[in-house]
Amino acid sequence: YFHARLPLWRVIRLTFKNYVLGHTHVMTVHGFVILPVTLIALYFVWKRKRWRQEMPFLVLHVLNFALSTWYAFWFYKGWLPLTERFDLLDKFNFARYHFLRPMVIYVLFAMALKIIWQEGRRWRAVSAAAIALQLLVLVLHNEEIVYRNKPSFREFYAEKQFAAIREYIGRPVHTYRVASIGIHAAIAQYNGFYTLDTYNNFYPLEYKHRFRCIIAKELEKNKKLREYFDEWGGRCYLFVDELGKHYMFKKTSKRTIRHLELNTKAFYAMGGRYIFSALPIENASDNALHLERVFRSDESAWTIYLYKVAWKGGT
């Protein structure tokens, strides 16, 4: 695991990006309404010289920006000598303290509304409008709206489709291993298959090195994927250069995989026998893969191309 890799200018840019837009894991949704409101309130504090009376408000302002700075500087490459000396700095993600921001930001919003409210009738209307607008923004960012085009639970896990695959293979699932391309490993796992790929933050480093042999040529082609796997590896997937960091290719996709280069011998040595691909692999034979069958289902979000390892000596 390696996190300290950004130069100073990118850290500064990330600080302001996080301050204004927030983070996908800490969805404050504050940039449209709350941030302007808090800055307006800060202007009134400065204009009225009410530094002492509004000290908690000012402290929260500083803390809010400090948390964004803290988050961004966690990735600063200048920390590298310290991370090499104190491995706790790699084992514990101190950047996660920015998860405090939702509490800080919404308390700051409440204080800002109070300050603006005190400026008279016209500004009271502004405060009321700000509350209404922020509620509207939050409604529009509801997960049922944001993810409305994503597969449902039933479509995602596709139980009937994978039951048909399991029946077609016709072997006890513990006697072979599988891996997926273009879909998440969790789907096969949920349906009872033993997988070589996984999304896991804690597994043996030796396993990561063995698994890397399977995808080594694909990682050579793509610097982002190589850094993503080598410097983190929590997503231990069959990465494909042509697909990048995308793992949700639905059955409506027209894409194909043309230049796949997997080490299927290493895959076989780890117990791998089948690959579940959400996309057709045009050069499957070059990878010692044989297309067994294509599985479709009305209840599934995927078309699954079942490939079996077919290199010499494999069964």
Closest C-alpha among 271, 264, 242 to residue 309: 264
Asked whether 264 and 277 are in contact (CB, 8 A), the reply is: no
pLDDT-derived band at 1 (thresholds 50, 70, 90) equals confident
Closest C-alpha among 193, 208, 242 to residue 222: 242
Note the pLDDT of residue 315: 45
Note the pLDDT of residue 314: 47
pLDDT-derived band at 257 (thresholds 50, 70, 90) equals very high
pLDDT-derived band at 156 (thresholds 50, 70, 90) equals very high
Asked whether 120 and 48 are in contact (CB, 8 A), the reply is: no
Q: What's the whole-number mean pLDDT along residues 208-237? A: 96
Please classify residue 217 by burial: count the beta carbons closer than 10 Å to its beta carbon, then call 0-12 exposed, 13-18 middle and 19+ buried.
middle
Coil vs helix vs strand at 181: strand
CA angle 26, 31, 33 (to 5 degrees): 120
- Give the span between the Cα atoms of 50 and 42, in whole angstroms: 10
Ranking 11-15, 81-85, 184-188, 300-304 by mean pLDDT, the lowest is 81-85
Give the largest Cα separation in the chain, rounded: 84
Note the pLDDT of residue 311: 67
- How many helices (H) and strands (E) the chain has is answered by 14, 6
pLDDT-derived band at 191 (thresholds 50, 70, 90) equals very high
Hey, CA dihedral for 155, 156, 157, 160, is it positive or negative? positive
Query: What value does the CA radius of gyration of the chain take, rounded to a whole number of Å?
Result: 25
Note the pLDDT of residue 166: 97
Note the pLDDT of residue 197: 98
The more confident residue out of 95 and 279 is: 279
Taking CA atoms, 157 is separated from 120, 162, 185, 241, 294, in Å, by: 56, 8, 10, 25, 17
pLDDT-derived band at 115 (thresholds 50, 70, 90) equals very high
pLDDT-derived band at 81 (thresholds 50, 70, 90) equals confident
Asked whether 193 and 178 are in contact (CB, 8 A), the reply is: yes
Percentage above 90 pLDDT, the chain: 82
Coil vs helix vs strand at 310: coil
CA angle 48, 49, 52 (to 5 degrees): 125
Element (H, E) at 236: strand 235-236
Residue 257 is given by DSSP the state B
In the predicted model, what is the mean pLDDT of the chain? Answer: 93
The more confident residue out of 296 and 85 is: 296
Ranking 58-67, 81-90, 253-262, 289-298 by mean pLDDT, the lowest is 81-90
Tokens of residue 256, six digits: 């194909």
Coil vs helix vs strand at 76: strand
Neighbours of 97 (CB within 10 A): 13
Q: What's the whole-number mean pLDDT along residues 32-46? A: 95
Tens-digit pLDDT profile for residues 14-30? 999 999 999 988 889 99
pTM: 0.86
Give the residues across from 274 on adjacent strands. 178, 308
Alpha-helical runs (H) found in 86-120:
88-91, 101-117
- Residue 270 phi, psi dihedral angles, 5° rounding: -90, 5
